[in-house]
């Protein structure tokens, strides 16, 4: 019984640390990042989530990689829906995370709800003609 208790405590500590990191990531991204989502004139991926959401936190490393891969070719924006509810309302978000791809004219090209693997994001950008 003692070993099981130790394992549970360890898991809770790890989840707690991950939760704090996820909250900080979304809050920092939403505050420090250029949240301009109109008149960008390039394809864009908007990830709408929150630091308290487990699938949103799982998206963090994926979004970091995608942002680096498409630097200068497409804009990747992370929005905390609790910090910026007006953006969530604008896109009619009912579930987080939600990823919305906009073409260079700002029209919605594709929408996905839930965790979205990097390979699938790349496929959507390929369909959009972003290389």
Give the pLDDT confidence score for residue 8 in this predicted structure: 72
Q: Two tokens at 89?
A: 């309302």
Q: 109: domain range?
A: 2-128
Work out whether strand 98-102 and strand 44-49 pair parallel, antiparallel, or are unpaired.
Answer: antiparallel
H or E element, residue 16: helix 2-32
Give the pLDDT confidence score for residue 93 in this predicted structure: 93
CATH number at residue 76: 3.40.30.10
- Which segments in the chain show pLDDT lower than 70? 1, 10, 12-36, 39
Cα distance between residue 72 and residue 113, in whole Å: 25
Domain count, the chain: 1
Cα distance between residue 81 and residue 110, in whole Å: 19
This prediction has a pTM of 0.75
Q: Two tokens at 43?
A: 């394809």
pLDDT digits 0-9 by tens, 70-102? 999 999 999 999 999 999 999 999 999 999 999
Annotated active-site positions, please?
A: 53, 56
């Amino acid at each position: 019984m003692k070993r099981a208790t130790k394992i549970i405590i360890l898991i809770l500590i790890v989840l707690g640390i991950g939760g704090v990191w996820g909250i900080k990531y979304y809050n920092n991204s939403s505050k420090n990042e250029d949240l301009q989502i109109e008149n960008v004139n390039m394809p864009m991926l908007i990830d709408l989530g929150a630091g308290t959401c487990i699938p949103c936190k799982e998206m963090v490393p994926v979004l970091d990689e995608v942002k680096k891969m498409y630097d200068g070719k497409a804009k990747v924006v992370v929005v905390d829906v609790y910090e910026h509810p007006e953006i969530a309302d604008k896109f009619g978000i009912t579930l987080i995370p939600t990823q919305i791809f906009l073409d260079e004219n700002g029209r919605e090209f594709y929408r996905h709800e839930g965790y979205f693997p990097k390979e699938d994001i790349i496929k959507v950008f390929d369909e959009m003609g972003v290389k």
